[in-house]
Structure 1
């Protein structure tokens, strides 16, 4: 069911986006991407090199998506122009190779929950990019961002001591800036009008860049297939089907059809999902600080959504 879910999205960007489709895609990004932090941690703990593991994730998802689109609409649907290819390559490298790749590298020492909390800075970077571009977001949007970021801070303070190394944290911060930059400028890069084709080529270019980065990092010499246990393969399969085919396709759809401030609210919800899954799967203790932080995050999301809805109206 999950593998066929992306096909339910519109066949092309030319069809007007409905509120129901936007909110469905946003819900997928909220929930599924919150779970991928746990999946990535399981992958790297299973001794799968981070860049090669994520390259396998996105290139496999791209191959499956290409096959599905071709069977449904024919190979002609996959044709894109040189400008569209350049735009997809730019976004794919920024979001996937530098953004998601940084998360995978960092989670070798950074706990998955803390990684999700650090990624919560993306809406703040998006706001700074908007201001740098001459825009003046509504005061309510600013308030929602600050409150949401405050909720993420509360969650971080409740985390206690971690095994995170400063360099890993720095890599993750740089990755969030790259992701925010790619998300901000994606609508201006002349991407394919079909959001599924856009996602396909971004995964191709991003995954290829990950392979090159992994080779430079010497990861092929650290790859031992016989040492990877079943949990590692299952986590990688989950990331391919749900994290890439489903959620990344939904995210590409949102970039083409929804306000960037509304899209960025997923970074507030993902940490709450990550904390909840940590409690359910890893038996992590939930404190009142975690519950309070989650409530504050939801309030921040509500404010941003309200401000953007008024702006569109």
Structure 2
């Protein structure tokens, strides 16, 4: 025991870690079943009997998203008692779970308003499931950064978190509309959502990269906005203004870097005409890499 105490692991801290881990495992298990319940299907049947890859990808996105959110709830100082630790972890975890489900609902009804996402995933549409998984992971990345930005466990804290969440969903929708506009302009007014409905995996991978990049760049705002639990309007406007600035900076940098990294390659033709998944994967990697670099620079 002395060895562990030398590295700061006391019996009290070990109990707190066990409490956090137990609650996290329970919530992750709940997420797997919620995925099926939310679209009225049996998750075991879809995953193990029907071998529905699309449902598996969508479920994986949800489980990963909750795991990301829980890291935001766990990170920080231990509470003053076991009960307060359990209440705090459960409250943040459940609130994060609710925000993930709400974000998914908003993405389905507003961002992907031209298609029936749940129906397409049940039918095995991998392209749609990739976008769904990336959108929920992007939401989770944002929620995690907001959880780490906020402090204490009060009503004001949850209002501050929810305000930043609403701004993030607005930005993800705006990003989707901008990508749709660019796609239509290059493809005789064709719909990007229709392309996803038709199973265009390359387009889904590229769009997933933009969603994740937006989430990482949005997270950088937490380093510049001072947390004031009662400054509702200032918190909201701070996240909105900074996220717009980061989106513009991200878009300009991506346009430049992609021309350099993918020089002598017609990205539009490869991804949108030839359905080249490899080029789309590289494009996605560039988007995420630049966003991570921006986030590190802002920190």
The two structures have a TM-score, normalised by structure 1, of: 0.27
Larger RCO: Structure 1 or Structure 2 (Cα < 8 Å, ≥ 6 residues apart)? 1
Answer with 1 or 2: which has the greater Rg.
2
The TM-score, its normalising length taken from structure 2, stands at 0.28
